[in-house]
Chain A
Amino acid sequence: GAGVSQSPSNKVTEKGKDVELRCDPISGHTALYWYRQSLGQGLEFLIYFQGNSAPDKSGLPSDRFSAERTGGSVSTLTIQRTQQEDSAVYLCASSQYNQPQHFGDGTRLSIL
């Protein structure tokens, strides 16, 4: 079946612009995660959605970052007023409760 799909695969934008990154999880997966992977750094947790529960937003680095998950399926990560330090690969993963995570190939974001 289809895996986790992320779009766009690459995004180049100017500093100060807003960007939206999309994640289509595997159908039926109740958990959805967003991570950020910067060059030379490990994966940094951003936000976690589980079913209808309130999301765990504790990893969002600033109030310029927000995410939503509509209808328990597709998720959008929005970065407002982008800064150069936001340049990274943004990875999305989904899973069944307490089961292995399945990752998309990520969106490579470059801020000029």
Chain B
Amino acid sequence: KQEVTQIPAALSVPEGENLVLNCSFTDSAIYNLQWFRQDPGKGLTSLLLIQSSQREQTSGRLNASLDKSSGRSTLYIAASQPGDSATYLCAVTTSGTYKYIFGTGTRLKVLA
């Protein structure tokens, strides 16, 4: 059974810092992995989607990497800003299904 873990559960950093959020999964036979952000009272916004054949994806100040063999993904945020404050979630689909399994998220606060 696929399980997704995110560490840390919460993180507080000063503005301008580079930071790394971690996601690990127990079954390496994944189809793809997505990183999302969720603002309070809102739905999720997809940030990056990495297919199982890819090693990383980049969008602006965000870079996500995928290491299937070790069951890990990282989300790197460069030059963090107060507007980056949100909960960040990762989710994976296991090959043969389109059912996404979500981690419980990392709650990020970037202090001005």
How many residues on chain B are close to A (CB under 8 Å)? 23
A105 near B100: Cβ-Cβ < 8 Å: no
A50 near B42: Cβ-Cβ < 8 Å: no
- In the assembled complex, which residues on chain A have CB atoms less than 8 Å from the CB atom of B46? 100-103
Alpha-carbon separation in the docked complex, A33 to B100 (Å): 9
Which one of B10-18, B66-74, B75-83, B102-110 contacts A?
Answer: B102-110
A98 near B32: Cβ-Cβ < 8 Å: yes
A59 near B104: Cβ-Cβ < 8 Å: no
- In the assembled complex, which residues on chain B have CB atoms less than 8 Å from the CB atom of A43? 44, 89, 91, 100, 102
- In the assembled complex, which residues on chain B have CB atoms less than 8 Å from the CB atom of A99? 49
B105 near A42: Cβ-Cβ < 8 Å: yes
Quote the shortest CB–CB distance from A52 to chain B (angstroms). Answer: 15
A31 near B44: Cβ-Cβ < 8 Å: no
Nearest chain-B residue to A56 (Cβ)? B99
B101 CB-CB contact with A under 8 Å: yes
User: In the complex where A4-B43, A100-B46 touch, is A45 in contact with B34 (Cβ < 8 A)?
Assistant: no
A31 near B98: Cβ-Cβ < 8 Å: yes
- In the assembled complex, which residues on chain A have CB atoms less than 8 Å from the CB atom of B26? none
The listed residue (A42, A56, A103) touching B43 by CB distance below 8 A is A103
A100 near B98: Cβ-Cβ < 8 Å: no
B99 near A41: Cβ-Cβ < 8 Å: no
Nearest chain-A residue to B48 (Cβ)? A100
B45 CB-CB contact with A under 8 Å: yes
Cβ contacts A84-112/B at 8 Å (1 or 0 each)? 00000001010000111111111000000
Sample 6 A-B pairs with CB under 8 A, ordered by A number. Answer: A42-B102, A48-B99, A102-B46, A103-B44, A103-B46, A106-B43
